Amino acid sequence: MQNSWDPVVSMQSIVSTSEMPHKDLYIMYMFSLNNEITGFFWNVWCSNPVLRDWLKEHADASELDKLKWMYYVINKSPWSCLDENAAFLTTADSAIKLLPEATRRVTGWKGLEYRAAFPMVKPPGANFYPPDMDKMEFESWKGSLTEDQQKDATSFFNVIKRHSEFGLESPLSNDTVDIANHMVGSAHDLYFVPFSQEYNPFLKRAAELLHKAGDMISSPSLKRLLHSKASAFLSNDYYESDIAWMELVCTSYIVLLRNSVHYNACGSNTKFTDSL
């Protein structure tokens, strides 16, 4: 499967050797960081970042381990996007995961360790919904909400989580979701968290880069798009940035923007979508 991909020059290499103006290089490099800074690894599957770190740590163990890591970097998950999302790893490659807070503290014991086996079939809900949630449970919970809360529950920019797992799987936001929101529909096990809170560390960094890039841009429409998208990352309101995208006047950066936002199923488009 590795041979199905052709090598390309990395953006880091372009930045270090190109004679392009510094601001253009910065903007290009900012777009090249898109997947990393916007939390793509977290979007795909709940234990995906742990698997990434595990494969990277063991990449030098053998030539096969190195190939596994290289192909994982391409797909950013254990599923091959060129092979209809077929798994290219086995459960033997699953990462060992540590949950130090899962039980009461015991002197000399680090915590609960388990093998975070990944499903052979790529989760259709990605990491935007609990993996064991079905449509019936979701509809039952949604029916218990107010009209405004139902809009939040079905929003493109919220993550659905479980009360019973509160605090276990949120190292990004540390589950600092508003308590009132956490209690929404508390008779049910589900609740929603805005992207701006769930992916806060990544989105704050992305917003900083977008604002800085926007300040460097001379095109008014592109400047508006970058600034409004940065604001949306922090406010979770994407209306103005969507309008700015539709009203964007074609510029030399349009290809970079389209690749950054509308990449295919093995790229950044999956950050904001699922297969449900």
Residues 6+ apart with CB under 8 A from 139: none
CA distance 143 to 246: 34
Residues 6+ apart with CB under 8 A from 179: none
The pTM is what?
A: 0.69
Q: Confidence band (pLDDT; 50, 70, 90) for 28?
A: low
Angle made by CA atoms 14, 15, 16, in degrees to the nearest 5: 95
Task: Tell me the mean pLDDT in the region 123-131.
Answer: 87
CA distance 91 to 207: 37
Q: Confidence band (pLDDT; 50, 70, 90) for 188?
A: confident
Helix (H) or strand (E) holding 194: strand 190-194
- Here the tokens at position 37 are 């800074």
User: Would you state the pLDDT for residue 260?
Assistant: 42
Give residue-wise pLDDT tens across range 220-235.
988 898 899 999 999 9
Task: Tell me the mean pLDDT in the region 31-52.
Answer: 73
Q: Is the pLDDT of residue 160 over 90?
A: yes
User: Would you state the pLDDT for residue 26?
Assistant: 56
Which of the two residues, 181 and 250, has the higher pLDDT score?
250
Judged by DSSP in three states, 79 sits in strand
Residue 246 and residue 266 in contact, taking contact as beta carbons nearer than 8 Å: no
Dihedral sign, CA of 100, 50, 157, 85? negative
Where in the chain are the domains? 46-122, 135-196, 200-265
User: Would you state the pLDDT for residue 154?
Assistant: 92
User: Would you state the pLDDT for residue 250?
Assistant: 63
DSSP state, 107? T
CA distance 216 to 223: 8
3-state secondary structure string, 51-82? HHHHHHHCCCCCHHHHHHHHHHHHHCCCEEHH
Out of 25-34, 46-55, 99-108, 206-215, which region has the weakest mean confidence (pLDDT)? 25-34
